Amino acid sequence: MVLRLEAVQKSFHDSERVVPVLKGVSFDLEAGQTLALRGESGSGKSTLLHIAGALEAADAGRVWVSGHDLTQMDDGGRAALRRSDIALIFQQFNLIPSLTVAANIAFQSALSGRVDQAHIKQIVTALGLDDQMEKYPEALSGGQQQRVAIARAIAAKPKLMLADEPTGNLDEDTADNVLEQMLKLVAQTGTALMVVTHSPIIAARMDRQLHLRSGLLV
């Protein structure tokens, strides 16, 4: 089991009241399995992804990532787990603007000291980024930037990949192409993938779909 959530709860506080976002969410994700998480805006999808990605702590419940109980880990432990086992892809690409495409792709692997140049080469070719390696992110189109973000995630050989609307900023053709590449690479490496999306088309291409409404899985 790569990811397990058990009765996870999370609330946010605004100036006047407590707003519950997740009200007890539980599910599992196996290695090599793909999962789409759908729901209305504000239903708690991104929060759930952040908790699963060890970016945020749950208020209650338990979360395991590749056997590690996140609720028992401190900030340093969660950071170490993100480096070694988790890869994140955001809607806003989140590349480092001052590093070249090549440096960006190798970055997370370098952080965990596991740079596999052959693996990277394979990913780069698969995503069609061979000609872009020495460019800086600002010189790339949105679709190219998202492909760099996916390449970075896969190059780190994570056990769990979490993607928040990875094709939300892309046109239909580019989105389809990027998704295709991502699924192919995930299948090759046996990575568990959870994608947060509004799109029923993307969701349909995943092994499983979960629907989140008002903080509960329905």
Partner 1 sequence: MIKSCLRALLSHWRRNPVQLFAYLAGLALATALWSGVQAINSEARASYDAAATTLGEGQNNLLIPKQGDRIPQDVYISLRRSGWLVSPVIDGRLGDVRLVGVDLVTSATGLGGDTDINQSTNFTGETLLANPETAQNLAGIAEVIVDASIAPGVAVGDIGLVQRLLERDDLTRLILLADQPIAQPSLGTIAPDLRMQRAQQTTDIAQLTNSFHLNLTAFGLLSFAVGLFIVHSTIGLAFEQRRGMIRTLRALGVPLRTLVVLITVEMMILAAIGAGFGIVLGYLIAAFLLPDVAATVRGLYGAQISGTLELRASWWVSGLLLALVGTAVALSSRIWQISQMPLLASVRPRAWVIATASRFRLQTIGSIILLTATVPMTLFWDGLLAGFAVLGCLLIGAALALPALAADVLTVLQKNTVAPVWSWFWADTRQQLPGLSLALMALLLAVSANIGVSTMVSSFRLTFVSFLDQRLAPELFIQVDTADQSAALETYLKSRNIEALPLLRTQTTIAEQPVALYGVRVGQTYRDSWVFLDETPNAWEQVAGNGAVVVNEQLARRADLWVGDLVQITPDLALPISAVVGDYGNPKGQVILSETVFQNLHPDLYPSQFGVRTQQAVQLRSDIVDTLGIEDNAIIDQSAVKALSLAIFERTFVVTSALNILTLGVASFAILMSLLTLADLRVPQLAPVWALGMTRRRLGWLELLRAVLLAGLVFVCAIPMGLGLAWVLLTIINVEAFGWKLPMYLFPLEYIQLGGYAMIAAFLAAMWPALRLMRTPPSTLLRVFASER
Q: Which residues bind partner 1 (CB under 8 A)?
A: 50, 53, 55-56, 75-76, 79-84, 86, 88, 90, 92, 94-99, 103, 107-108, 110-113, 136, 138, 141-142, 169
CB of 79 to partner 1, least distance (A): 4
CA distances from 14 to 11, 56, 170 (A): 10, 17, 33
Give the nearer residue to partner 1 in terms of CB position, either 169 or 174: 169
Give the nearer residue to partner 1 in terms of CB position, either 91 or 122: 91
Beta bridge partners of residue 22, listed in sequence order: 10
Give the nearer residue to partner 1 in terms of CB position, either 14 or 113: 113
CB of 94 to partner 1, least distance (A): 5
Give the nearer residue to partner 1 in terms of CB position, either 30 or 56: 56
CB of 173 to partner 1, least distance (A): 17
CB of 152 to partner 1, least distance (A): 8
Please give the single-letter amino acid code of residue 42: G
